[in-house]
Amino acid sequence: MQTSNNRSLDFSKRQHNRYWWHKVSYCNYVPLIYSALNDDEWDLLSRWFDDSERKYQGTGEASIPAMSLLIGLITGNGIHRIVQCGHYIGYSSLIFGFYLRKMGKKHSLYSIDIDEKVTSYSQKWIEEAGLNDYVRLTVNDSASVSEPDLANAYLGGAPQLVFIDSSHQYKHTLDELDLWYSHVVPGGLIALHDTSEFAKTFDRSNCGGVGKAVEEWCVRNNVQKLNINGFVAGGKSGDYPYLDGCGLTLIQKVQ
């Protein structure tokens, strides 16, 4: 079992691109989202890193900057009804689950992914982490009109936060925004990962991806947004304070 003394510090020596944050020269410390985990939680997450790296070439998890921002929002405000669109192999679901358990908030994360295989993989780790009372993983299209009612039933009310990190496709993102904005509580938040100019290249249809979808949807619906690093055209943000070049957008429902 690894203790809190070293934890993720050795990640800077690993070659996989998922460890890019740990290679930033001034990030030579354990980020709070890892250091605040207990030893059992970190031990499981460390084993998840090793196992998922062996089994998946593209690991696809949200970055430390994005997760740190979201965990701050959740834990600082008692947010306990969360929908996640796209959990892939489980990184963000584990992180969310650990902190929701620390908050004592059961049935607090409802996560949707269209891929049955990766959901099965993620579910194994959720069970091993003892998070079944806090996290529900389901297989479906995250833009399916049936999902809000299912999410509400599990969460015990309308979502306070929806985190979209799913297909990265322009049309699908528009469908997700249309669906979930109407179902979040007044004042609720939608966070979308991969909204920079660089991340538009993730769209297989070459239609502009999440970034273009957000831009057009917000104009059409007269909704304001904060697109952090939306202008960044490369995978790294350079000297900008928010390090993730893929960008993150926050939308608040004001009516």
% of the chain residues with pLDDT over 70 = 98
Q: Which two tokens stand for residue 197?
A: 């100019």
Residue-wise pLDDT tens digits, 207-248: 999 999 999 999 999 999 999 999 999 988 888 999 999 999
Round to whole Å and give the CA distance between 61 and 93: 10
pLDDT, tens only, 161-208? 999 999 999 999 999 999 999 999 999 999 999 999 999 999 999 999
Instruction: Say if residues 112 and 82 touch (Cβ distance below 8 Å).
Output: no
Pick the CATH number of 61-252 from 3.30.70.890, 3.40.718.10, 3.90.950.10, 3.40.50.150: 3.40.50.150
pLDDT of residue 210: 98
Position 4 confidence tier, pLDDT thresholds 50, 70, 90: low
Please state the pTM of the whole predicted model: 0.96
102-133 in b/e form (b: 16+ CB < 10 A) is eeebebbbbbbbbeeebbebbbebbeebebee
If phi over 0 gives left and psi between -120 and 50 gives alpha, with beta otherwise, what is residue 202?
alpha
**13-53 confidence digits (pLDDT tens):** 999 999 999 999 999 999 999 999 999 999 999 999 999 99
pLDDT value, residue 2? 45
What are the tokens at 8? 């993720």
SS (H, E, C) 90-146: CHHHHHHHHHHHHCCCCCCEEEEECCHHHHHHHHHHHHHCCCCCCEEEEECCCCCCC
190, β-bridge pairs: 162, 251
pLDDT digits (tens, 9 = 90+) for 67-125: 999 999 999 999 999 999 999 999 999 999 999 999 999 999 999 999 999 999 999 99
The tokens describing 203, both together, are 């769209």
Where in the chain are the domains? 61-252
Strands (E), the chain: 82-85, 109-113, 135-139, 161-164, 189-193, 225-228, 248-252
d(CA 45, CA 43): 6
How many Å from the N-terminal Cα to the C-terminal Cα in the chain?
48
Strand partners, 82: 109, 161
Average pLDDT, the chain: 96
